Chain A
Amino acid sequence: MIEQPLVIELLLAFSFTLALIFAYLAVMERDLIRAVVFAAGQSIAFAYAYYLLFAPDIVLAYIAVGVGIYSMILIFAISKTERYEKV
């Protein structure tokens, strides 16, 4: 049926490692707004992985929730506190 599973697996590995990098950046970032943007990038990487795993229904929900709604709730929460993380 589908002749190039290795390509799909390489793309899957790419999207997962991208998600890992974004997750690391989101955890380490002191500027919380930028951390939210990195978390949204991680959501995009995961959505791409779902697309590669043949789950278009999940992609449609995940993009809207992971990039839009989740980021919005965190940004509103940050706007009610402080933007920079102090250690």
Chain B
Amino acid sequence: MKAKTLEEEKTHEVIIGAGIAILLILTVFAIILGVTGYTPSENIRPLAQFYLYYAMNTFKKELWAATPEAVNSMVWDYRGYDTLFETSVFFLAVIGAVSVLRLPGVKDVVSKGILSGRGLSLIVKVITKFIVAFILIVAISIAIHGNLTPGGGFQAGAAVSIASLIGLAAFSRIFLEERHVTTKLMLPIRVLGVVGIGLVALVPAFIALSGILVFAMQNQPKVWAPNFGFPPGFGDFWLSGNQFYYNFFEFLAVGAGFTVIYLMYSIPEYFYKEVLGKK
């Protein structure tokens, strides 16, 4: 390619700058004129009306989900199969990542003595310790309040995995391994989470063996299956039927799954070359 002269470069930059400016002005005008619809929308669609009307309707319990959080009632009750298969897709995706990044012949990479890292400065380390504590508290509260407030299992799992991520960045792999955050521990926790979700989904199937009419992933008694329902709560502790258990197990599965991926990714390249080179 021929080298550009100074003037050509200048015109080029002017054209790009003017283009961006026009694009920005058009975006602002388009949004103000209502491309995104009315925000907030003035009309609620019939489907949304159904969810909002029935999700926590204590007077019409034949279709309720026992959840004040309408989003959670859709995710785990009315549209439960979607989430169930999403979880299994995520499970398989992490299996794929782990099998691509695995080290054949090495059961669990313990970096002690092999990979040494000093981490970042003392100020960063001290602040990171506080932040990790806060992230853990917030993540657990998102998980176990997922059926009451915005949030849920996936959000909480993604948040808790960030705690291990910034631990990895500010300290080192050794820091996490000394606190038992290893692939050896995280993989069983992940399996526990997915198996827990599966068992909670199959509880109605075990009930059905006794001859009661139920459907899979049933939460509360419905019109067509009126004889079975999870207890909505114990006293002040509101469980929303099976949604508390789903959120908690999803939290375990997603948090441990992402942590496994970080731990596998953080193995340096020369370690792979060393292990695979000996083969």
Contacts and interface: CB of A to CB of B under 8 A. Distances in A.
B265 A9 contact: no
B51 to A, nearest CB: 13
Q: Say whether chain B's binding surface is mostly helix, strand, loop, or mixed.
A: helix
Given A9-B39, A12-B39, A13-B32, A61 B158 contact: yes
Interface of B: 20, 23-24, 27-28, 31-32, 34, 36, 38-40, 71, 142, 150-152, 154-155, 158-159, 161-162, 165, 258, 261-262, 265-266, 269
Given A73-B265, A76-B266, A60 B31 contact: no
Which of A5, A10, A21, A60 has the largest number of chain B CB atoms within 10 A?
A60
Nearest to B264: A76
A72 B165 CA distance: 8
Contact of B20 (A6, A8, A24, A56): A24
Interface string A45-61: 00000001110110111
Contact of B158 (A1, A12, A68): A68
Contacts of A64: 155, 158-159, 161-162
A60 B155 contact: yes
Given A13-B27, A76-B265, A80-B269, A57 B150 contact: yes
17 contacts: A1-B40, A5-B38, A6-B32, A8-B39, A13-B27, A16-B31, A21-B20, A24-B20, A60-B155, A61-B155, A65-B158, A69-B158, A69-B162, A69-B258, A72-B165, A72-B265, A73-B265
Given A9-B34, A65-B158, 19 more contacts: A9-B32, A9-B39, A12-B36, A13-B27, A13-B31, A13-B32, A20-B20, A21-B20, A21-B24, A53-B36, A56-B150, A56-B151, A60-B151, A61-B155, A64-B158, A68-B161, A76-B265, A76-B266, A80-B269
Q: Say whether chain A's binding surface is mostly helix, strand, loop, or mixed.
A: helix
Given A20-B23, A68-B165, A9 B155 contact: no
A24 B261 CA distance: 29
Contacts of B266: 76
A21 to B, nearest CB: 8
Contacts of B34: 9
Given A56-B150, A61-B155, A17 B39 contact: no
Contacts of A52: 39
